[in-house]
């Protein structure tokens, strides 16, 4: 089992860590420009696009589990159908986002309420990056489908392609061409379509026999669409709650001023590193749980969960040590603005322990997604967001200020982990384990 977990997890970790690495490079590039508003523009523009794309994260999360279950039961037609259904949805909504971009920008900027200078540059950033929407959503589908097919190498190839081009182009546009946050957006746009081209090539080379089973009547099969809509509805609602938390966090950061917005954006890079690193093992759990559920090997699911958690917590300890020992060096990589560094250093304590405090939530997410128990993920996310995060911030804000934001965010993560752990004692390790829906 160790070999299976690591075979899936290591490429996923490398793939996932390349995402916050890109964000970190972007933050570092604009963090050394003359003016903190460039960091704010990236933070606000990125938060709005994250809000949009997270809303479509079901294209990744809702594809892996069902595909893995089809793979475990050796149902080749359903493997192909899962890809066909999801890619059609991705392309439709990608084009729709471009057509509705003015509405998207207005809604997002209205929520953020950033300073006029930050809003100006955020709007420029958004007006370029939005044209990557069809590619971005299609890459979510490819990532999820490859993981469901027990292939963690191809998502790594796509991530490395996208981020290598992105970093290289961003450096060129900012350092050579003298562009600002608009250069960051243009680099991302080109990189996304480059990665999409590579993804199409990989599918043609490796999965042509599988896609020969693709039939239009299977794609539009009503019972399959009902299940797809049910899973995706739960993931979408869960994601809306997650979007609310992170968007509210960024919006409240902006209320404290541009320096606090920039400092919180820098500190969030450490949260992203933690999330995407540990999610490597979460993705492994998603693939394995789905496969063994499809093969009806319940005992293997329980073993996989134990191994995934052991490795996940080991990585969390390593990340906590790295953050603690390299605090000032790491912060200085992102910005040389004295005020931003001062604020970030003040609130760094909330970042130091985040790997251990959030590990449970990240790992259980993968287990429940693989088992397609998205209803439980939805319910626990709503509790963490609306019963814990928001009330806790409103109660403590008058006394703690920016500390209240970080306290609420930490409590949000801890609540998710504890709630999913308690539910797991029934659904995965109880007297009647894994009373899960059949395919």
Confidence category of residue 358, pLDDT binned at 50, 70, 90: very high
Chain segment 126-156, per-residue pLDDT in tens: 899 899 999 999 999 999 999 889 898 998 8
Helix (H, G, I), strand (E, B) or coil at 13: helix
Chain segment 13-52, per-residue pLDDT in tens: 777 666 555 555 666 666 656 556 667 777 778 778 877 8
Chain segment 239-263, per-residue pLDDT in tens: 889 888 988 898 888 888 888 888 8
- Would you give the distance in Å from CA 133 to the centre of its chain? 16
Question: CA 274, CA 319: separation in Å to the nearest integer?
Answer: 7
Report the number of secondary-structure helices (H) and strands (E) in the chain: 20, 0
Residues with Cβ within 8 Å of 276's Cβ and at least 6 positions away in sequence, in order, are 16, 17, 19, 20
The whole-number pLDDT of residue 437 equals 45
Query: With 70 as the cut, is the pLDDT of residue 435 above it?
Result: no
Chain segment 164-206, per-residue pLDDT in tens: 898 888 888 887 877 777 888 888 899 999 999 999 999 999 9
Q: Assess contact for 376 and 368: CB atoms under 8 A.
A: yes
* Mean confidence (pLDDT) of the chain: 84
Average pLDDT (206-216) is 82
The whole-number pLDDT of residue 436 equals 46
Query: With 60 as the cut, is the pLDDT of residue 311 above it?
Result: yes
Tell me how far CA of residue 408 lies from CA of 387, 393, 403, 414, 423, in angstroms.
11, 5, 9, 10, 23
Query: With 60 as the cut, is the pLDDT of residue 93 above it?
Result: yes
The whole-number pLDDT of residue 434 equals 56
Q: Would you list the DSSP string of 378-426?
A: HHHHHIIIIIIIHHHHHHHHHHHTHHHHHHHHHHHHHHHHHHHHHHHHH
Average pLDDT (368-397) is 94
Running DSSP on this structure, what letter comes out for residue 212? T
The whole-number pLDDT of residue 439 equals 39
Chain segment 62-76, per-residue pLDDT in tens: 888 888 888 888 888
pTM over 0.95: no
The whole-number pLDDT of residue 438 equals 41
Percent of the chain whose predicted confidence (pLDDT) is above 90: 31
Residue 249 CB neighbours (<10 A): 20
Query: With 80 as the cut, is the pLDDT of residue 122 above it?
Result: yes
* Phi then psi dihedrals of residue 373, to 5 deg: -95, 60
How many Å from the N-terminal Cα to the C-terminal Cα in the chain?
24
Question: CA 71, CA 67: separation in Å to the nearest integer?
Answer: 6
Running DSSP on this structure, what letter comes out for residue 150? T
Q: Assess contact for 354 and 324: CB atoms under 8 A.
A: no
Average pLDDT (353-362) is 92
Q: Assess contact for 297 and 14: CB atoms under 8 A.
A: no
Instruction: Give me the residue spans of the domains in the chain.
Output: 2-427
Q: Assess contact for 29 and 187: CB atoms under 8 A.
A: no
Most distant CA pair in the chain, distance: 64
Strands (E), 12-160: none
Query: With 80 as the cut, is the pLDDT of residue 1 above it?
Result: no
């Amino acid at each position: 089992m160790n070999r299976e977990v690591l075979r899936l997890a290591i490429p996923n970790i490398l793939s996932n860590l390349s995402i916050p690495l890109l964000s970190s490079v972007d933050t570092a590039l604009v963090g050394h420009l003359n003016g903190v508003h460039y960091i704010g523009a990236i933070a606000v523009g990125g938060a709005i696009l994250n809000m949009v794309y997270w809303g479509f994260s079901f294209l990744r999360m809702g594809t892996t589990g069902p595909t893995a279950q089809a793979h475990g039961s050796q149902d080749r037609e359903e493997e192909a159908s899962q890809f066909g259904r999801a890619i059609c949805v991705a392309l439709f909504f990608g084009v729709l986002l471009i057509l509705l971009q003015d509405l998207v920008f207005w809604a997002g900027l209205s929520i953020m309420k950033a300073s006029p200078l930050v809003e100006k540059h955020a709007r420029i950033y958004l007006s370029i990056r939005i044209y990557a929407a069809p590619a971005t959503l299609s890459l979510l589908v490819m990532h999820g489908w490859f993981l469901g097919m027990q292939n963690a190498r191809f998502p790594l190839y796509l991530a490395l392609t996208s981020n290598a081009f992105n970093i290289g182009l961003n450096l060129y546009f900012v350092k050579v061409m003298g562009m600002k946050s608009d250069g960051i957006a243009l680099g991302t746009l080109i990189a996304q379509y480059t990665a999409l081209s590579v993804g199409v090539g990989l599918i043609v080379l490796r999965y042509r026999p599988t896609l020969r089973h693709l039939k239009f009547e299977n794609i539009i099969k009503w019972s399959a669409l009902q299940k797809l809509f049910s899973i995706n509805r739960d993931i979408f609602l869960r994601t809306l709650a997650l979007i609310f938390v992170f968007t509210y966090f960024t919006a409240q950061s902006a209320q404290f001023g541009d320096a606090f917005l920039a400092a919180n954006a820098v500190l969030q890079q450490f949260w992203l590193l933690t999330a995407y690193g540990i999610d490597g093992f979460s993705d492994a759990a998603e693939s394995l749980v789905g496969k063994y559920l499809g093969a009806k090997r319940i005992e293997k699911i329980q073993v996989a969960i134990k191994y995934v958690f052991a490795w996940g917590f080991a990585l969390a300890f390593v990340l906590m040590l790295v953050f603690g020992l390299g605090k000032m060096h790491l912060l200085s990589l992102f910005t040389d603005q004295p005020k931003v560094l001062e604020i970030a250093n003040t609130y760094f304590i909330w970042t130091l322990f985040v790997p251990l405090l959030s590990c449970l939530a990240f790992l259980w997410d993968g287990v429940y997604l693989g088992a397609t128990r998205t209803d439980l993920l939805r319910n626990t996310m709503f509790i963490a967001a609306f019963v814990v995060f928001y009330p806790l911030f409103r109660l403590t804000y008058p006394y703690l200020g920016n500390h209240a934001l970080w306290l609420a965010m930490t409590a949000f993560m801890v609540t998710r982990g504890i709630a999913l752990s308690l539910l797991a004692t029934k659904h995965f390790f109880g007297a009647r384990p894994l009373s899960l829906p059949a395919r």
